[in-house]
Homo-oligomer: A and B are copies of this chain.
Amino acid sequence: MLAHHFDETKLNRLENRVKLYGNNMAPNPRRVHIFMAEKGITCENVQLDIVKGENLSDEFLAINPRGMLPTLVLDDGTVIDETVAICRYFEETQPEPALMGTDPVNKALVESKQRHMEWDGLLGAMEAFRNAFPGFASRGLGGNVGTVEAIPALVERGKETLRRFYERLDGQLAASKFIAGDDFTIADITALCTIDFAAGAARVPIPEECANVSRWHTEVSARPSIQG
């Protein structure tokens, strides 16, 4: 699919060097896919079905004992999990285009905004979905944690969190083109994946009155990295 959007000669093809375990339906693997597409990096992808528990199979736990996706495996066997850590690896190995900030202050501000999106938005969306989805009734936390009963009270709390998230973000995007200022960064990727997941899985779409969030969402969704 990338061929329709990117100059193929400029792709950084890592198919024989790194392997990414993920799931196309889940927001965290999607964050890494978009981050890589923005940099024109491709690699081998392995899809695991989270609902079926393929991330908790003995085979995958031998690779990542936490059972979390995405997980990146380098050709020397080094295993890196956690979305932002995987993005850091690609940012450090291929700095352009910069997606995690430029000078020290900008890097700190991008990291701060990225974390706001995670803690103020994505965590709430995860809680709203996970504690309502029947398939996760005994998987109230993600990954290799054994039986953890869902907590129904987290569903409404997560939805309330998302409403606050949209309202605050709308105020910020009234004065800012992207989440962390004038440039597209990892903070936009986290926000986009949070909002699409909130709208779909947690059923809390962008409120009509949040016109600035809608403007930003339309613009960002049109990027080749997101459509690819």
> Residues of A with Cβ closer than 8 Å to B?
65-66, 74, 78, 80-82, 84-86, 88-89, 92-93, 103-105, 107-109, 111-112, 115-116, 120, 140-141, 145-146, 148, 151, 153-154, 157, 160-161, 164, 168
**Is the Cβ of B153 less than 8 Å from the Cβ of A141?**
no
Instruction: Tell me whether chain A's interface is mostly helix, strand or loop, or mixed.
Output: helix
**Is the Cβ of B151 less than 8 Å from the Cβ of A164?**
no
**Is the Cβ of A85 less than 8 Å from the Cβ of B111?**
yes
**Are A112 and B92 CB-contacts (below 8 A) given A151-B153, A151-B154?**
no
Offer 22 A-B interface pairs, CB within 8 angstroms, sorted by A. Answer: A66-B116, A78-B109, A80-B105, A80-B112, A81-B112, A82-B112, A85-B108, A85-B109, A85-B115, A86-B108, A88-B104, A88-B107, A88-B111, A89-B104, A89-B107, A92-B104, A92-B107, A140-B157, A146-B164, A148-B160, A151-B154, A151-B157
